Amino acid sequence: MLTLAKALVVARPPKDEPEPPEPHGPNPGSDSNPPQPPTLTGEATDALLDGREEDLAAIADAIDEAWEEFDAEPREEIEIPVTLPSNQQEVTGTTAINRKVLDWVQAFCNQPQGAGLGTGFLQSITPP
């Protein structure tokens, strides 16, 4: 089952850190932009845009497995390894866990029906 916490792994990947500038500029004989290793976010985006359903299913399964491992043994980061069926390429994604946000989402989603902001918000936007 896909939960908000699981969806945030794909929807809010960790920010890329900027690369430090080269001290003497690029060497004239070298490639100034070496190929970057694939990222889980980039591969998921490409799979979605290209309609690669098998890759999307593999990524979703890997995310589910990573969350199950996190439930069994919580830690500061979740590592999500996956082998893409379309090209047998191995890609690993890592995402940091914000414990405060996760605790809030779990508490919010576990409120009894009729309590909390969720129901009131939905009632306020639903036409009579």
Give residue 74's pLDDT: 87
Mean pLDDT of 2-6: 72
pLDDT tens-digit profile of 47-106? 999 999 999 999 999 999 998 998 898 889 999 999 999 999 999 999 898 889 888 888
Q: Give, in order, the Cα–Cα distances in Å from 55 to each of 2, 3, 45, 72, 81.
A: 17, 20, 10, 26, 13
| pLDDT over 90 at 1, yes or no | no
pLDDT tens-digit profile of 11-41? 666 666 677 766 665 555 555 677 888 899 9
Give residue 80's pLDDT: 92
Q: Using only C-alpha atoms, what is the Rg of the chain?
A: 20
Give residue 29's pLDDT: 54
23, 40, 56: which is closest to 90 by C-alpha? 40
Distance CA 5, CA 52 (A): 24
Q: For tokens 């999500």, what's the residue?
A: 80
Contacts 24+ apart (CB under 8 A), 72-81: 78/9, 80/9, 80/40
Distance CA 86, CA 65 (A): 20
